[in-house]
């Protein structure tokens, strides 16, 4: 098979895969919600480790939550911080009775380590029917809790949410934002097809009943991406369903990585935790790797007209999926950075698997896994 036939075939397959995913995204965008008056009891949980710079912003945003205070508690878990995170948690939440501050339990279980243990510590004492979680470096809107829990039905175990990157000076934060919007669009679309690929722990909600019935984090083999492990466990149980709505009121916002090394540390953690994906994930992985090779090197061995045609088809495939999401979250200004994004995405996407040749250990939040 010549290179021309191979890359043409893969790019056409890439287009039809995105076309297929587009219908899944439409399903996720049209998910029904319960009536606003049906307020369940909710526990918001934030696991915090060495978040001195961010925790006050997070608490201030949570304090503005529009939800009946008698039906909501916000549990802040200090996960063995070595800075003054705990002290700042106390000061920032002082005088607001919905906040509870606890320390993570010491646990000898091989499954309950790091953030998973911090979350499990809070879940064991929480009183909510539903757990709504975010990270200490995130901010959420006033209707985040209310809108998220409206998607729960009797057999809905988990509601996944989108997270955008805060826009800062320079192009780096914009590229990361496009990256997250594209990857989360894939996740939402795959959920709409009942073939969910991934989720993010900084905007994740689940039924306490479902969590308990699968044995919680204690019943799941430890993973550096505990959120993904929990989602897969719930999704594998035929009694439950996992959904991924696209709702502007359910979005969280976080800060971009400040350096290439920080970015690669994050991506390595996601890549390692993402192994064991479903058939759609392996197909997408093969397609992405191939079209990224095409983008960066195809001009060297293909006729330039064919090369440009294939790159246009690749780009249109992605825009077909991401455009509705960017419009929903009012992020259309990111379109002007898209040409730079496809180079950024291809560059780290090809380098990431190779980075494990020098070692498989993951460093995150001052811990090594």
Please state the rounded mean pLDDT for residues 267-275. Answer: 78
Please state the rounded mean pLDDT for residues 210-229. Answer: 91
Please state the rounded mean pLDDT for residues 333-341. Answer: 97
Which residues, 6+ apart, have CB-to-CB distance to 297 below 8 Å?
none
Length in residues, the chain = 369
Report whether pLDDT(357) > 60.
Answer: no
Please state the rounded mean pLDDT for residues 312-333. Answer: 97
CB 280 within 8 A of CB 186: no
* Nearest-angstrom CA–CA distance, 67 and 263: 35
Q: What is the pLDDT of residues 7-61, one digit of tens each?
A: 999 999 999 999 999 999 999 999 998 877 789 999 999 999 999 999 999 999 9
Report whether pLDDT(365) > 70.
Answer: no
What pLDDT score was predicted for residue 341?
Answer: 97
Please state the rounded mean pLDDT for residues 188-203. Answer: 96
* Nearest-angstrom CA–CA distance, 234 and 191: 13
Of all residues in the chain, the percent with pLDDT exceeding 70 is: 95
Report whether pLDDT(367) > 80.
Answer: no
Of all residues in the chain, the percent with pLDDT exceeding 90 is: 83
Low-confidence winner among 23-37, 155-169, 311-325 (lowest mean pLDDT): 23-37
Please state the rounded mean pLDDT for residues 256-272. Answer: 87
Please state the rounded mean pLDDT for residues 123-150. Answer: 97
Please state the rounded mean pLDDT for residues 342-363. Answer: 78
Q: Are strands 363-364 and 203-207 parallel, antiparallel or unpaired?
A: unpaired
Report whether pLDDT(1) > 80.
Answer: no
What pLDDT score was predicted for residue 222?
Answer: 85
What pLDDT score was predicted for residue 359?
Answer: 59
In Å, how far are 113, 198, 329 from 270, measured between CA atoms? 17, 10, 24
Q: What share of the chain is helix, strand, coil (3-state, %, to 5)?
A: 55, 15, 35
Report whether pLDDT(86) > 70.
Answer: yes
The mean pLDDT value of the chain amounts to 93
Report whether pLDDT(94) > 70.
Answer: yes
* Nearest-angstrom CA–CA distance, 254 and 145: 17
* Nearest-angstrom CA–CA distance, 112 and 143: 31
DSSP-assigned beta bridge partners for residue 78:
48, 103
What pLDDT score was predicted for residue 111?
Answer: 78
* Nearest-angstrom CA–CA distance, 4 and 11: 11
Q: At 158, is the pLDDT very low, low, confident or very high (cuts 50, 70, 90)?
A: very high
CB 122 within 8 A of CB 208: no
């Amino acid at each position: 098979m010549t290179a021309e036939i191979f890359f043409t075939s893969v790019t056409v397959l890439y287009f039809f895969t995105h076309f297929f995913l587009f219908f899944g995204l439409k399903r996720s965008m049209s998910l029904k919600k319960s009536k606003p008056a049906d307020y369940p009891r909710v526990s918001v949980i934030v696991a915090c480790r060495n978040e001195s710079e961010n925790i006050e912003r997070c608490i201030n945003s949570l304090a503005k939550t529009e939800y009946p205070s008698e039906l909501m508690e916000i549990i802040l878990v200090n996960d063995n911080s070595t800075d003054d995170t705990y002290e700042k948690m106390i000061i920032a939440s002082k005088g607001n009775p919905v906040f509870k501050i606890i320390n993570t339990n010491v646990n000898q279980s091989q499954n309950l380590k790091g953030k998973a243990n911090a979350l499990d510590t809070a879940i064991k004492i929480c009183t909510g029917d539903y757990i709504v979680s975010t990270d200490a470096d995130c901010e959420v809107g006033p209707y985040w809790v209310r809108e998220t829990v409206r998607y729960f039905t009797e057999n809905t175990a988990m509601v996944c949410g989108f997270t955008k990157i805060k826009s800062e000076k320079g192009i780096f934060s914009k590229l990361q934002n496009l990256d997250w919007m594209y990857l989360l669009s894939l996740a939402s679309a795959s959920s709409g097809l009942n073939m969910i690929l991934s989720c993010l722990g900084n905007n994740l909600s689940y039924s306490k009943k479902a969590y308990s019935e699968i044995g919680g984090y204690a019943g799941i083999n430890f993973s550096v991406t505990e959120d993904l492990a929990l989602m897969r466990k719930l999704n594998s149980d035929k009694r439950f369903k996992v959904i991924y709505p696209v709702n502007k009121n359910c979005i969280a916002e976080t800060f971009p990585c400040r350096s290439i090394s920080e970015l690669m540390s994050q991506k390595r953690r996601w890549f390692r935790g993402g192994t064991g994906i479903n058939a759609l994930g392996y197909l997408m992985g093969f397609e992405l790797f191939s079209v990224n090779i095409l983008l960066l090197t195809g001009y060297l061995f293909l006729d330039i007209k064919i090369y440009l045609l294939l790159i246009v088809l690749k780009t249109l495939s992605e825009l077909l999926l991401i455009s509705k999401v960017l419009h929903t979250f009012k992020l259309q200004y990111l379109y002007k950075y898209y040409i730079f994004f496809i180079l950024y995405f291809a560059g780290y996407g090809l380098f990431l698997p190779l980075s494990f040749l020098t070692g498989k250990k993951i460093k995150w939040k001052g811990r090594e896994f």
